Amino acid sequence: MSRAAKATFVASIVFTTSIVWGVHFIQRYERDSMYAGVIRDEERLEEKKRQRESELAYNRAPPRIPANTSGY
């Protein structure tokens, strides 16, 4: 093989390897960011659930009768 052919071969291997590595890196980054979104959604849903339970408990509380201030 000539020197130019070897250089072209090595360059194509390096180029292909870097492309494959780059694609895997991007996929890993996207997977991690998507998972972070799932975590945020779960936290948001838990907060909404706590808020609904708090409002429900407040609405179910018996009405307060004001103290008799007429002197009896």
Stated as kind and residue range, the H or E segment containing 37 is helix 3-60
Which residues, 6 or more positions from 1, have their beta carbon under 8 angstroms from its beta carbon? 9
How sure is the predictor about 71, in pLDDT bands with cuts at 50, 70 and 90?
low
DSSP reduced 3-state for 57: helix
Q: Say what the pLDDT of residue 64 is.
A: 72
The residue count of the chain comes to 72
Residue 70 reports pLDDT greater than 70: no
Q: pLDDT tens digit string along 2-55?
A: 999 999 999 999 999 999 999 999 999 999 999 999 999 999 999 999 999 998
Residue 60 reports pLDDT greater than 60: yes
